[in-house]
């Protein structure tokens, strides 16, 4: 798997559903420069773990907004599938009420660029192109900073749902280090003591 941390985030351009209803043809992450972007992949619309994640992110949307961060979800479904899922009530397996953008990576190019695609293209012995595995994305999540650089990534297998609280914790840690120049130790959360990246700083931290 590619490690994108420290590198410029691969471009994301194409079709998406925004505001829970509007299909746009020219969606791009470039529009969010100057903001933090939580860009996450999920396997498929109309599944089981996926709606729990997308709804959980929506429930914490104000937490992200207050941190100058935006959420963008993506799967290999079409924009029409996204739209239909967004119109379906939650008690019927839908995600109605989700307002952040859902990118349609129907041609698989973005999933390939972020190296989260579960399947891969190959050839038969006769030279015919085939796709091996599933044309779906693993649960990849990428925290992109205000300059478009990936600062954190995590990839879960399909059955393993993510912790929205952990995403917020990592975002807080990134913003803390940017503002104060200190580093965040294990299990750090907003309001906790950090430390200076020196031997004296470590000793001072451990003594408390």
Catalytic site residue from 50, 116, 167, 184: 50
Distance in angstroms (rounded) separating the CA atoms of residues 51 and 55: 6
Phi, psi angles (nearest 5°) of residue 19? 60, 20
If you compute the radius of gyration of the chain from its CA atoms, what whole number of angstroms results?
A: 19
Direct distance between the N- and C-terminal alpha carbons of the chain, in angstroms, rounded to an integer: 39
Looking only at the bridges linking them, the beta strands covering 102-104 and 69-75 are parallel
Q: Do 98 and 63 form a contact (C-beta atoms < 8 A)?
A: no
50 has catalytic annotation: yes
* Nearest to 114, CA basis, from 132, 140, 133, 135: 140
Q: Do 149 and 8 form a contact (C-beta atoms < 8 A)?
A: yes
Residues annotated as catalytic (active site), given as ranges: 50
């Amino acid at each position: 798997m590619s490690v994108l941390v420290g590198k410029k985030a691969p471009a994301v351009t194409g079709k998406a559903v925004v505001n829970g209803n509007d299909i746009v043809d020219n969606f791009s992450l470039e529009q969010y420069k100057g903001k933090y972007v939580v860009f996450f992949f999920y396997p498929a619309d109309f599944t089981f773990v996926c709606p729990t994640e997308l709804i959980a992110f929506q429930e914490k949307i104000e937490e992200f907004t207050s941190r100058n961060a935006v959420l963008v979800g993506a799967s290999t479904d079409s924009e029409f599938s996204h739209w239909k899922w967004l119109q379906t009530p939650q008690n019927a397996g839908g995600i109605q009420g989700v307002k952040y953008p859902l990118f349609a990576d129907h041609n698989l190019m973005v999933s390939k660029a972020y190296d989260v695609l579960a399947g891969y293209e190959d050839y038969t012995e006769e030279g015919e192109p085939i796709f091996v595995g599933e044309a779906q994305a693993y649960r990849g999540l990428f925290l992109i900073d205000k300059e478009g650089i990936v600062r954190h990534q995590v990839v879960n297998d399909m059955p393993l749902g993510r912790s929205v609280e952990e995403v917020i914790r990592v975002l807080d840690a990134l913003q803390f280090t940017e503002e104060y120049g200190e580093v965040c130790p294990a299990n750090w959360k907003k309001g906790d003591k950090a430390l200076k990246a020196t031997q004296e700083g470590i000793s001072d931290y451990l003594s408390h």
